[in-house]
Amino acid sequence: SYVLTQPPSVSVAPGQTATITCGGDNIGSKSVHWYQQKPGQAPVLVIYDDRDRPSGIPDRFSGSNSVNTATLTISRVEAGDEADYYCQVWESISDRVFGTGTKVIV
Amino acid sequence: QVQLVQSGDDMKKPGASVKVSCKASGFTFSTYGISWVRQGPGQGLEWMGGISAYNGNTYYAQRLQGRVTMTTDTSTGTAYMELRSLTSDDTAVYYCARDAGTFDAWFDPWGQGTQVTVSS
């Protein structure tokens, strides 16, 4: 089964940039989606298809994907960005894979 | 607006079954699929499977095959997930999410979650 590896946590000061990685074998050939989950809440889609933002998501959130690593970047980090972040890929219609999750600490 | 509203929290004994509902609104239900994702206490997200509301085709995660059944009622725009032979390992928050069901599809939006607790 396909494995997506994320760092357990990332610490960032307010106003700085947070970089969250998602590693997988040849992940650059797949479309990567990112979700934000705040404590006690359901996940929210923040990036789809590697780099596209749903309506309502600030442009401080951006994504990229190349070779074996996909990256979610949060610029000008705010206290409200503190959350868990998960990457996800479509391995097959019967195998959707989530990353291990990264806690962003502001 | 596009919304998924799930049934309330539930508590079951080991060996029992649980059925969670997910009512959709704000979009044409029959043109999408619904996936189910669960999250154990302090754990990450686990995709359980999905169903096409268009034709009823189901796709289950291999580790849950034989224990899970997903259905839809297109007349009410509601999806259901039933999990049988529950153990304490099934204690989790269960989420439904809209799923385009196409290659490389993502999940958006998500329901609010349903806490299922399995305890004797």
pLDDT of amino acid B115:
98
Chain B residues near residue A35 by CB distance under 8 angstroms? 45, 107
pLDDT of amino acid B111:
98
C-beta atoms of A33 and B107 within 8 A: yes
Chain A residues near residue B110 by CB distance under 8 angstroms? 42-44
What counts of helices (H) and strands (E) characterise chain A?
Answer: 0, 9
Arithmetic mean of pLDDT over chain A: 97
pLDDT of amino acid B100:
83
List chain B residues with pLDDT less than 70: none
Residue-wise pLDDT for A67-99, tens only, equals 999 999 999 999 999 999 999 999 888 899 999
Chain A residues near residue B37 by CB distance under 8 angstroms? 43, 98
Q: Which residues of A83-102 are buried (b: 16+ CB within 10 A; e: fewer)?
A: bbbbbbbbeebeebbbbbbb
Chain B residue nearest residue A54, CA to CA:
B108
pLDDT of amino acid B104:
84
**CA-based nearest distance B101→chain A, Å:** 7
pLDDT exceeds cutoff 80 at A33? yes
